[in-house]
Amino acid sequence: MRVFIVDDSEILRKMLVAKLSKLPNVNIVGEAKDVATAKHLLDEIEYGLAIYDINMPNGSGIDLMKYTKKKYPSTKIIIMTNYSIGDYKERSLEAGANYFFDKSDLDEMITLIEQLSKKE
């Protein structure tokens, strides 16, 4: 499974890369710190799973997800945030996210990615 990570926190990106790189069927193919960089890389990197933060510089993960789904509808997208309470989860899922996680549930997200990678 080819994974692309977009989050403005370098610490979180590095932590995700470290954890996901240990999974045998997962290959991290790219990272971006903001929406503009992610959109630029979208046509240069082929991936099947994207992990997007909601709140980032110059845009939101929800907008990036809509952009991604329009160009590559089969891409699975995980939205993650520190703001899971309220309508973020509902808005994310209604906009096309396949999964939604609070950043405090990263181990649960890693488990899901491991399960998904075994199906590919």
| Single-letter amino acid code for the residue at 12 | L
Count of structural domains, the chain: 1
Quote the pTM value: 0.94
Domain that holds residue 64: 2-84+98-110
Contact partners, residue 11, CB within 8 Å, separation at least 6: none
What pLDDT, on the 0 to 100 scale, is given for residue 87? 80
pLDDT digit string, tens, across residues 9-43: 999 999 999 999 999 999 999 999 999 999 999 88
The closest alpha carbon to 77, from 116, 23, 20, 36, belongs to 116
CB–CB of 12/37 below 8 Å? Answer: no
Domain assignment present for 115 = no
Cα–Cα distance for residue pair 31/112, rounded to 1 Å: 20
Domain assignment present for 35 = yes
Domain assignment present for 92 = no
State the average pLDDT over residues 64-69: 94
Domain assignment present for 42 = yes
pLDDT digit string, tens, across residues 86-103: 688 888 999 899 999 999
Residue 31, domain CATH: 3.40.50.2300
